Amino acid sequence: MRHYLDHNATAPVRPEVIEAVAEAMALDGNSMSVHEEGRKARKLVEDAREAVRALVNAPVNGVVFTSGGTESLHYAVHGAMAPHKIERIFVSAIEHSAVLANAETTGAEIEIIPALPSGVVDIGWLQDRLAACDAARDGAFLVCVMYANNETGVIQPVREISDITHDAGGLYVCDAAQAVGKIPVNFVMSGADMMILTGHKFGGPLGVGALVAGPNLPLEPVMRGGGHEENRRAGTHNVPGIAGLGVAARLAEDSPARANEIAALRDRMQTAAEAAGAKIWGADAERLPGTLCLSASGFPGATQLMTMDLAGIAISAGSACSSGKTKPSHVLKAMGAGDEDSLCAIRVSVGWNSTDEDAEAFIREWPAAYERIKARAA
């Protein structure tokens, strides 16, 4: 029996979502066509848009469908450049690699916002740095700080970041891909100008997500063609994927009700790992309920992943987007970790369909594997 403990990489697709995608694939019609078949497809798109809007309390017409989180980040960063005359981008040291990669292609000057050992960004540094900014002298700026970290699960003070950014005259982009569908996320209350989400992190299909933008926020389209998405993102709608995202969004409204149960699974695994000698990252900060990041000295993350896989347990060695690489985690390095701790780190993540049996499998197998490693090194 397999035990899937890698929800932060991709959560299992909910059965209702699979059904919705299959039904949508059986329909004829392009969502931009005016005949009956086209109108049916368009209704699926707009119903899904309303479900996503309701899930995160987005403004009317504020949800722009994309192919996922990376495209949404690309659109947010590049789309804001010309309309807002952005000359400087502040990127937190714990951001997903897609944020910095896109920022580096804009031509804007980039500054890195440091993180504290807790895994929370250094609000004091940001406040002091932005207080020293002069828009007339330094130009307009963009601040990019995620809602919750994909490796540690640490939740960031997004409203405070938003207020600091706006007081200094900047725009705030919040990558909420790991938070949406797991904890309550309110776009309006967050104060963010743009927010990113993607379906496959909370039981939706792969390859579909959204950029949520504030009312009437000017953005330059980065994909041009037809008049899709009110001329904000060209390209024929992925109607089955969007329909599935809508169903996942509606189902996710009930996810916070199970947050305590999911956190209890995480905490049981954490207790067992700590007892075996692991170091827990982000334990002193507020975290996503299902995320556990740990380091085990002398037990490389890649080896842990393979060992657990052979035991029937799926985990990640850091971010899934970079887990095939051997370089240390930039997130843990930003928190003060040395190379040993960074290279010996894993991420265990549970979610909507995780069970006691899943947690017990980790509690049974991981400490025993670590004890074997330590015995060989003795």
Active site residues: 321
Say how far apart CA 312 and CA 308 lie, in whole Å.
Answer: 6
Residue 40's identity, in one-letter code, is: K
Residue 230 φ/ψ region, left for φ over 0, alpha for ψ in the -120 to 50 degree band, beta for the rest: left
Q: What is the DSSP letter of 104?
A: T
What backbone phi and psi angles, to 5 degrees, belong to 188? -60, -45
Q: How far is CA 306 from CA 278, 301, 302, 310, 360, in A?
A: 18, 9, 6, 6, 18
Cα pseudo-dihedral 167, 169, 171, 176, rounded to 10: -10
Interacting residues of 347 by C-beta distance below 8 A, sequence separation 6+: 6, 8, 151, 291, 292, 293, 315, 316, 317, 318, 319
Question: And the tokens for 139?
Answer: 């130009």
What backbone phi and psi angles, to 5 degrees, belong to 272? -65, -40
Say how far apart CA 191 and CA 173 lie, in whole Å.
Answer: 10
- The closest alpha carbon to 180, from 216, 214, 210, 142, belongs to 210
Interacting residues of 334 by C-beta distance below 8 A, sequence separation 6+: 93, 94, 114, 115
Say how far apart CA 134 and CA 317 lie, in whole Å.
Answer: 42
Are the C-beta atoms of residues 170 and 319 closer than 8 Å to each other? Answer: no
Reported in sequence order, the residue ranges of 234-304 that DSSP labels E, i.e. its strands, are 279-281, 291-295
Bridge partners of 3? Answer: 313
Q: How far is CA 44 from CA 24, 30, 41, 266, 320, in A?
A: 8, 11, 5, 36, 31
